[in-house]
């Protein structure tokens, strides 16, 4: 009986070890197939036809945009009155830089933009190729009726928008706020006259029935993605060389981000400093309902990459900023080229609190700082928070670490050396 028990234990241990080895081997697979065909990592070189038809500034009826027409988005275009704006695959929307364009989906309206790998939907600058710049136009704003953790349960979109169309938030947790697939958003992030910058794609209070996947935001003059409240599982997002944060998540958003890519450059930052992930538990200006309502996000299969080398790495910040008690779990991901993995604000007052609010495992990091950045001396440099992850003993330049990080077709962030060659904390 004892012999059988020992054999069973041995088989279980062998199975566990094989599973662990397979997981480690699979972790560094170059799973980049989803990046191919529909993306564009050199959008300033791409030629687009001139706009043929200008969209009205108020769309109050169900509207369908066809791919055989190139549209001009000029100024602020509001979709109101519960109307749906449906965009056919392959449609190109040129966005005015002279009268900076923004598309605002007001609360109750719906954006259905379903492209395909072969025929993505493209929002891009109205400038000619090789003359486009970050912040040529505003961006896409989608206001939903999902939950936000402000005391009032709602919020007002920042910027010089019409106040009638600026409200978001509510109790429709399962709302189908939008359906977005295979969409490129190029050169957004314009700064308005009052100094408030737009973002590439802003999602306010989106519902669980929304579908957001295969989206690429390139050369944003501010944040690429700004997610405030709501609940959803979002996948296959790309942020390419944003001046602001790649992913800013706040106001009690709950959900998962799977297969996300942030490619930064050490010389492209905002004056305030920019992060690949900026996680905020709540908005300090509007308060929050209760501690259980803070932002709580799980991030899996992320590549957060700063294209830094030994000549410019000193210009980088931490990859992640965590503030106001935000909760996050990062799994199966790579972080490289930054000063530290994560920077915590004063709301994380002890190691015990951090260990409940921040977890990272089965991941890899390559940094030139201490790993943890905090004003609290007890927390600062406490690398045991990052245990169960592999890391480089010394900082490695991007081209020495990855297989093809600067490809304009589909960058590859497969490690040149096996994971087993890197350090690991137990």
Cα gap 280→272, rounded to integer Å: 16
Which pLDDT belongs to residue 287?
83
Does residue 12 lie within any of the structural domains? no
Residue 23 DSSP code: H
Whether 172 contacts 145, CB under 8 Å: yes
31: its two tokens? 């799973």
- Interior/surface letters 406-420, b for 16+ CB within 10 angstroms, e for the rest: eeeeebebebeeeee
Does residue 167 lie within any of the structural domains? yes
Cα gap 336→194, rounded to integer Å: 35
Q: For residue 268, which of 137, 405, 134, 367 has the smallest C-alpha distance?
A: 134
How far CA 281 is from CA of 188, 248, 297, 410, in Å, comes to 26, 11, 10, 33
Does residue 7 lie within any of the structural domains? no
Q: How many residues does this entry show for the chain?
A: 426
Does residue 18 lie within any of the structural domains? no
Does residue 380 lie within any of the structural domains? yes
| Residue 201: strand, helix, or coil | strand
| Residue 52: strand, helix, or coil | coil
Please give the mean pLDDT across all residues of the chain.
91
Whether 71 contacts 53, CB under 8 Å: yes
Tens-place pLDDT, residues 111-126: 999 999 999 999 999 9
80: its two tokens? 């109101």
Which pLDDT belongs to residue 306?
98
Does residue 10 lie within any of the structural domains? no
Cα gap 221→133, rounded to integer Å: 8
Q: Which residues contact 161 (CB under 8 A, 6 or more apart)?
A: 76, 104, 141
Q: Which residues contact 8 (CB under 8 A, 6 or more apart)?
A: none
* CATH code, domain with 214: 2.160.20
Whether 63 contacts 109, CB under 8 Å: no
Whether 250 contacts 227, CB under 8 Å: yes
The pTM (predicted TM-score) of the whole model is 0.93
Lowest mean pLDDT among 63-77, 80-94, 251-265, 283-297: 283-297
Range of the domain at 369: 32-424
Tens-place pLDDT, residues 31-48: 788 999 999 999 999 999
Tens-place pLDDT, residues 127-178: 999 999 999 999 999 999 999 999 999 999 988 899 999 999 999 999 999 9
Does residue 239 lie within any of the structural domains? yes
Instruction: Please give the sequence-ordered ranges of beta strands (E in DSSP) within 351-408, or none if there are none.
Output: 358-361, 364-367, 372-374, 390-391, 402-404
- Tell me the pairing of strands 155-156 and 167-168: antiparallel
Tens-place pLDDT, residues 356-392: 999 999 999 999 998 999 978 777 666 788 989 999 9
Cα gap 94→132, rounded to integer Å: 12
Which pLDDT belongs to residue 342?
96
Tens-place pLDDT, residues 170-214: 999 999 999 999 999 999 999 887 778 999 999 999 999 999 999
Position 2 pLDDT exceeds 60: no
Does residue 122 lie within any of the structural domains? yes
Whether 46 contacts 408, CB under 8 Å: no
Cα gap 211→207, rounded to integer Å: 9
Share of the chain above pLDDT 90, in %: 81
Query: Looking at the DSSP assignment, which residues form a beta bridge with residue 20?
Result: none
**How many domains does the chain divide into?**
1
Query: Looking at the DSSP assignment, which residues form a beta bridge with residue 198?
Result: none
């Amino acid at each position: 009986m004892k012999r059988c028990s020992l054999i069973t234990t041995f088989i279980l241990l062998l199975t566990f070890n094989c599973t662990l080895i397979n997981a480690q081997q699979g972790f560094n697979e170059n799973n980049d197939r989803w990046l191919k065909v529909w993306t564009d990592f050199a959008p300033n070189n791409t030629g687009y036809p001139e706009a043929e038809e200008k969209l009205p500034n108020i769309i109050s009826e169900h509207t369908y945009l066809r791919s055989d027409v190139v549209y001009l988005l000029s100024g602020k275009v509001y979709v109101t009155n519960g109307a749906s704006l449906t965009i056919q695959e392959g449609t190109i929307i040129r966005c005015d830089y002279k009268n900076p364009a923004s598309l605002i989906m007001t609360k109750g309206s719906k954006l259905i933009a379903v492209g395909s790998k072969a025929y993505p939907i493209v929002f891009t600058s109205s400038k000619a190729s090789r003359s486009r710049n970050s912040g040529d136009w505003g961006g896409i704003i989608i206001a939903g009726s999902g939950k936000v953790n402000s005391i009032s349960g709602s919020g007002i979109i920042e910027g010089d928008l019409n106040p009638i169309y600026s409200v978001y938030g509510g109790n429709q947790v399962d709302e189908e706020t939008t359906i977005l697939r295979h969409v490129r958003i190029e050169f957004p992030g314009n700064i308005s006259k009052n100094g408030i910058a737009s973002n590439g794609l802003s999602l306010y209070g989106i519902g669980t029935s929304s579908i957001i996947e295969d989206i690429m935001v390139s050369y944003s003059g501010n944040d690429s993605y700004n997610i405030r409240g709501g609940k959803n599982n979002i996948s296959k997002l790309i942020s390419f060389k944003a001046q602001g944060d790649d992913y800013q998540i706040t106001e009690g958003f709950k959900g998962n981000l799977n297969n996300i890519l942030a490619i930064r450059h050490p010389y492209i930052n905002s004056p305030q400093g920019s992060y690949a992930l900026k996680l905020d538990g709540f908005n300090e200006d509007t308060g929050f309902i209760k501690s259980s309502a803070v932002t709580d996000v799980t991030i899996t299969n992320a590549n957060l990459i700063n294209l830094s080398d030994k000549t410019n790495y000193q210009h980088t910040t931490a990859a992640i900023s965590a503030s106001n008690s935000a909760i996050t779990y990062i799994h199966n991901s790579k972080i490289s080229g930054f000063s530290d993995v994560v920077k915590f604000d004063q709301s994380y007052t002890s190691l015990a609190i951090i260990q409940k609010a921040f977890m990272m495992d089965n991941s890899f990091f390559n940094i030139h700082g201490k790993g943890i950045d905090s004003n609290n001396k007890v927390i600062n440099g406490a690398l045991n928070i990052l245990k169960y992850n592999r890391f480089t003993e010394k900082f490695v330049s991007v081209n020495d670490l990855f297989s093809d990080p600067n490809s304009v077709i589909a960058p590859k962030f497969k490690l040149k050396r096996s994971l087993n060659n890197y350090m690991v904390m137990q």
